[in-house]
Amino acid sequence: MRLLPAIDLIDGKIVRLTEGDFNTEEQYGDPYEKLKEWQGRVPMLHLIDLEGAKAGEPRHLDVVRFAKTCGFFVQTGGGIRSEEALDAVMATGADRVLLGTKAFTDSDFLNRALAKYGDRVAVALDAYDGIVAVNGWQEATDLKDIDAAKGLVDRGVKTILYTDIGSDGKLNGPNLERMKALREAVSVTLIASGGVTTEADVEALQAAGIDEAVVGKALLSGQVSLDDLIEWEARHA
């Protein structure tokens, strides 16, 4: 299993939220310094523009560009709701770009994105109690996560990042029930996000057939170290 350390951004700072609530913001310093600290130690990075997700347009493309100069495989997203924004993010050299809100509200946009950028386009499927949320997790839809995932695969999406909002930032472990249900429903690359805190969480996700997992607050808060992450990935490769 591949593990992706996460950096979420607001106002040029690394932050973490709990359950996507912007009122729970905790700051963890400068992203450039963190990227330099991680450079050469881990290959992949999950870099999310939370400010952009809320505003509806990317706000931290400079950080994405810097991450690429550091040699990371960069998975990034947040606020990509126009073709111009998608082109701008792709121009940073990002390896995998996550579409969220727009993937569920504008089917033509998703079709054009996939046609233009192929497997570099992934979709962030964010859900609370199995119901898809959009607009920076602030708005619930009437879509069920399993139905949404199947629909994305039918459209040609090859990678889905699933965030269980109820687990995010709580350090209580991932929602294995939802991850197992999704794994049974779709056969594309599936990434778990939300609550991944211990090696036991990694083992459980791997046993469920999950391909990749994002580790955020547990790493930034010091509950686990980057060395832990590197060792876990090596043991579960």
- In percent, the amount of the chain with pLDDT more than 70 equals 97
What is the sign of the dihedral through the CA atoms of 32, 54, 23 and 223?
negative
Q: What is the pLDDT of residues 48-95, one digit of tens each?
A: 999 998 888 999 999 999 999 999 999 999 999 999 999 999 999 999
CB-CB contact of 42 with 228 (8 Å): no
**What domain count does the chain have?**
1
Task: Give the CATH number, domain containing residue 117.
Answer: 3.20.20.70
pLDDT of residue 23: 85
**How far apart (Å, rounded) are the C-alpha atoms in residues 232 and 235?**
5
Quick one: average pLDDT of 130-157?
90
Active site residues: 8, 126
Q: What is the pLDDT of residues 177-214, one digit of tens each?
A: 999 999 999 999 999 998 899 999 999 999 999 999 99
Domain that holds residue 13: 2-235
